[in-house]
Amino acid sequence: MQDFRLPDLGEGLPEAELVQWLVAEGDTVSLNQNIAEVETAKAVVELPSPYAGTVQRLHHAAGDTIDVGDVIVTFALEGETVDAAPAAPAEAGKGEAEAEPEEEKATPNLVGYGAAPRKSARPQRRARAARAGASASADTAVLEAAPHDAIVEQPIEQPVERPRSTPPVRKLAKDLGIDLALVEATGENGLITRGDVEAYAGHTGMADAQAAAAASTTPAPTSDERVTRRPIRGVRKATAEAMVRSAFTAPHVTTFQTVDVTATMELVASLRADRSLEGHRIGVMAVAAKAVCLALGRNPSLNAKWDDAAGEIVEHHYVNLGVAAATERGLIVPVVPDADAMTLVELADAIGELAATARSGKTPPAAMTGGTFSITNFGVFGVEAGTPILNPGEAGILGLGTVAKRPWEHQGEIALRDVMTLSLSFDHRIVDGAEGSRFLVDVASVLEQPGRAMLLR
């Protein structure tokens, strides 16, 4: 028997919420097979199995909050069988085969756990097998209840495997009275999905039973239910704590600049029409990110942090650009490392990858640390300007407003131009108003005339 404890999933986070089990008790798993999804304060993470063997016990249910270091699952390692009850002595000549002690080797895995090489302290037992046409539980009951001289039907050598599914699917099948062994699996690696159970219920005329089961597990709303309460946890809890800490630690100042970005929009259109750049989605966000990297090189106080413990201001000579992403789980800020060393195309690809990963909920905690400056695009929601709050440990964050056609003075005349408002929030302990203004003007000048980027370094 071997316990698996919840590992530290990054940045010293003390706990995680169990989203769902991907295995059930009795399932056989291989080394590094994903066994559960857990949600930390930063991301949803899949936990790989640190052992090859059988899931003996799941210690928590979906929705539980688990402290790092707590036991979450117990395994019986390969070559071991843990019987539910003592077996009666077998008839002479029909005893269980005994395997020679065998050394097992385990390789390191994704979370730093693994079974150490070991030798069995006792002979290993072969798993009990089931009779053809009967369930494993029935056979076990017969074998264990039989007197010493009873004649029991010879079992076949093919062990019965428990159908693979998740706990919610097992509950649905139980509510509908469906034997999962009869359901055809369409999921990955033979996993029975909710759709498989529902399809089986439909084919066998059990749709009404499914509706009844759903009704029995979902309480009907009462007339006085005028509010919905949701627990504060996961990303929402972490975001709230970070924003409060930032707002009441760093004195925020926000300044605005409205800029004619017609030339940037024309550049973006020409790049998207370039067949050699097909597959690279270059947009205003990427151009703004490039402008930020250039402007930070000229205004290093925006690319710094306040180290209260050391009594120092730490300026970074690289740009790890945080990109705020709105997801179903809340706001997260994954980071593009060394963004200042990237070309415009590379930046666009990196930002696109971050956004796709964030929307899927698979951003690892390590990808959301180490940022030196952040950018957020609330313009995608049609918002013109805002006062973004700093990420803790950063001196500045730039907000991009929506691009809209407006009458604008251009070359001495009024013309309809593409216009955007930039919103810069900065830590006034580190950045003076003049420095913040110069940075914002530098960003605006690149967006107004992208060719100016050739003059900056």
Low-confidence ranges of the chain (pLDDT < 50): 83-160, 207, 209-223
- Neighbour order of strands in the sheet with 71-77: 2-5, 71-77, 53-58, 28-29
- pLDDT at position 205, please? 52
Distance CA 235, CA 331 (A): 7
Distance CA 228, CA 217 (A): 18
DSSP 8-state code for residue 23: S
Decide if 37 contacts 64 (C-beta within 8 A): no
- pLDDT at position 224, please? 53
pTM of the model as a whole: 0.57
Tokens 């979450």 locate to 72
Distance CA 240, CA 246 (A): 10
- pLDDT at position 456, please? 66
The tens digit of pLDDT for each residue in 33-90 reads: 999 988 876 677 888 998 889 999 999 988 888 888 899 999 988 665 554 444 444 4
Residues designated catalytic? 428
Distance CA 50, CA 40 (A): 19
Strand residues in 146-213 grouped as ranges (E):
164-165, 191-192
Decide if 248 contacts 409 (C-beta within 8 A): no
- pLDDT at position 424, please? 97
Helix axes 344-359, 284-298, angle to 10 degrees: 120
Distance CA 451, CA 386 (A): 28
Instruction: Say which residues have a Cβ less than 8 Å from residue 185's Cβ, sequence separation at least 6.
Output: 163, 164, 165, 191, 192, 193, 196
**Domains, in order of start, for the chain:** 2-127 (2.40.50.100), 163-217 (4.10.320.10), 235-455 (3.30.559.10)
- pLDDT at position 332, please? 85
- pLDDT at position 103, please? 42
